[in-house]
Amino acid sequence: MRVAIVGGGVSGAAAARFLAEAGVAVDVFEREALAGGLMRSELVDGYSFDISGGHILYSRDQWYNAFIDRIFREGELVTSRRNTKILLDGRLVHYPFENGLADLPAEERLPCVLGYIRAWAAREAGAPVPDNFHDWIHYRFGEGICRAFMLPYNEKIWKVDLRELGVDWVEGRVPAAPLEDVIRSGLGARTEGYTHQIAFRYPHRGGFQAIYDRIAAPIRERIHTGVTVRHIERRGQRFAVDGNLYDKVISTIPLPELAGVLTGWDSAARAAARALQHRSVTSVLFGIDAESVRPISWLYVPHAAQGPCNRVTYLSNYSPQNAPAGRGSIQAEVTHAGPLAVDNGFLAGLCQRFHELGLLRQERVDVRHHHCNEWGYILFDRDFTRKRRLAVEGVEKTGVLPLGRFGRFDYHNSDQCVIAAKAAVERLLAEAGAG
């Protein structure tokens, strides 16, 4: 069997590895000059830069954790304890916000706790689950927490009226803090949330791409970079990929782009794929003096008045190799709908804003570097579930297997991408065996 994989990000590389381990011939086609997708890292004047924002290595899946332990030797990963904050009115508030109410002045805690209790009581009394994200976060968190953090932060990320977003995606993405934890936090005793990621790992060298590189190592020679696949069609029991014949095709490229490449869809599925929406993310690296580095993993910057950035990662805290000796680094993320004009003026303005917020000393910055990622986040509009189902089913009916965050429009982290790739390969091999 011969398989073509379109797209050389982590989903495509993992699928290629698992196929090769099963003895299958595979070719991966990546349009960028460098493979890695959203896991790519760059070395900029001695600074490691994760081009699509701050990434960490953690998973609840035992198989995935064992897989990582197998491909990395002891000492090649740095383990850190998460220390995440929210910057509000010059004050650092522990994250998640509802667990960090103790860091607020007493008069600001009360509306947050009362709102949370009222929302909890309404749910217990059978209040219906809202059908849009704006109302859902009030339903889950209450008025005080929404006003202080949840509304401004999510408006900053999604760049849309939150009433236009659905709620199918929130389960498991926005965990609920136990009521007693929120009350305890409101009384002044900080509690801890999102405990599944309280400890995380990160490569000692090479940035987050080191994980991708280890996954891709056995099939690196099968990844063809700088190749844009323009046409996929079925020919009998096989597939032609730009004229080259394969028994199976796995596509990890975004479904809206696949709509212009793959033939044989029905019109409703193709239209649904083209209608799926996304948000882009621009990452900006600042090389800063070591004295400005705070003992923080990452920092949320939720309010519009704080500038365009929504999150800052203290990347030099993840590994001592992420910055030159005696220096540190922070990495900002800015989401946007459509292109963002990033020039020297934009970078200087962001640097000045960070100086005003106390995140760096402008005169001590020695590196400014950025990367724009067109495909960053899935936008879960209220018609998302229907469109995604039609699009994925339409691709699968052609015999092509869609895979990956944008290949299936599954909101997967890197660990989930690898797990899904393993499952997809097992399915493909089982079908081939049955055939």
Tell me the CATH number at 8.
3.50.50.60
Alpha carbon distance 387, 400 (integer Å): 18
In tens, the pLDDT along 113-149 reads 999 999 999 999 999 999 999 999 999 999 999 999 9
Mean pLDDT of 403-432: 96
Task: Say if residue 181 is in the same domain as residue 238.
Answer: no
User: With 60 as the cut, is the pLDDT of residue 373 above it?
Assistant: yes
b/e per residue 371-400 (b: at least 16 CB within 10 A) = bbbebbbbbbbeebeebbebbbebbeebeb
Q: Give the domain range for residue 404.
A: 2-36+212-277+382-434
Angle between helices 106-124 and 133-141 (to 10 degrees): 100
The pLDDT confidence band at residue 197, using thresholds 50, 70 and 90, is confident
Q: Which of the four pLDDT bands, split at 50, 70 and 90, describes residue 108?
A: very high
With beta carbons less than 8 A apart as the criterion, state whether 367 and 47 touch: yes
In a domain, 327, yes or no: no
Strands 77-81 and 277-289: unpaired
Residue percentage of the chain with pLDDT more than 90: 94
**If you ran DSSP here, which 8-state letter would residue 223 be given?**
E
The model's confidence at residue 415, banded by pLDDT at 50, 70 and 90, is very high
Decide the pairing of beta strands 311-313 and 327-336.
Answer: antiparallel
pLDDT of residue 198: 87
Q: Is residue 219 part of a domain?
A: yes
Residue 69 belongs to a domain: no
| Residue 420 domain flag | yes
If asked whether residues 150 and 13 sit together in one domain, one would say: no
CA of residue 430 relative to chain centroid, distance: 30
Could you tell me which of 49, 12, 15 has the C-alpha nearest to residue 32? 12
The answer on pLDDT for 176 being more than 80 is: no
Q: Does any domain span residue 357?
A: no
Does residue 154 lie in a domain region? Answer: yes
Give, in order, the Cα–Cα distances in Å from 119 to each of 136, 153, 163: 10, 20, 18
Find the mean pLDDT for residues 41-66: 96
pLDDT reading at 191 higher than 90: no
Amino acid 354: pLDDT: 98
Note the pLDDT of residue 434: 57
Using 50, 70 and 90 to split pLDDT, how confident is the model at 183?
very high
Q: Do the Cβ atoms of 61 and 418 come closer than 8 Å?
A: no
How many whole angstroms from its chain centre is CA 247? 32
Q: In what order do the strands lie in the sheet with 244-246?
A: 232-235, 238-241, 244-246
Does residue 61 form part of some domain? no
Q: Would 106 be classed as within a structural domain?
A: yes
Residues 167 and 109 in one domain: yes
Shared domain check, 218 and 183: no
2-12: average pLDDT: 98
- Cβ-defined contacts of 270-275 (< 8 Å, 24+): 270/391, 270/394, 272/386, 272/387, 272/388, 272/390, 272/391, 272/394, 273/387, 273/390, 273/391, 273/394, 273/395, 275/383, 275/387
Residue 111 has pLDDT above 80, yes or no: yes
> What distance separates the 2 farthest-apart alpha carbons in the chain?
70
- pLDDT over 90 (residue 314): yes
Are residues 182 and 118 part of one domain? yes
251, two tokens = 């596509």
Same domain, 102 and 169: yes
User: In terms of domains, do 217 and 163 share one?
Assistant: no
The pLDDT score that the predictor gives to residue 192 is 79
The letter for the amino acid at 197 is: Q
**Domain boundary pick from 140, 170, 187:** 187
> Structural domain tally of the chain?
2
> Is 121 in the same domain as 182?
yes
Q: Which of 355, 354, 351, 352 is nearest to 367 (CA)?
A: 351
In this structure, are strands 41-44 and 47-50 parallel, antiparallel, or unpaired? antiparallel
Q: Note whether 19 and 139 are same-domain residues.
A: no
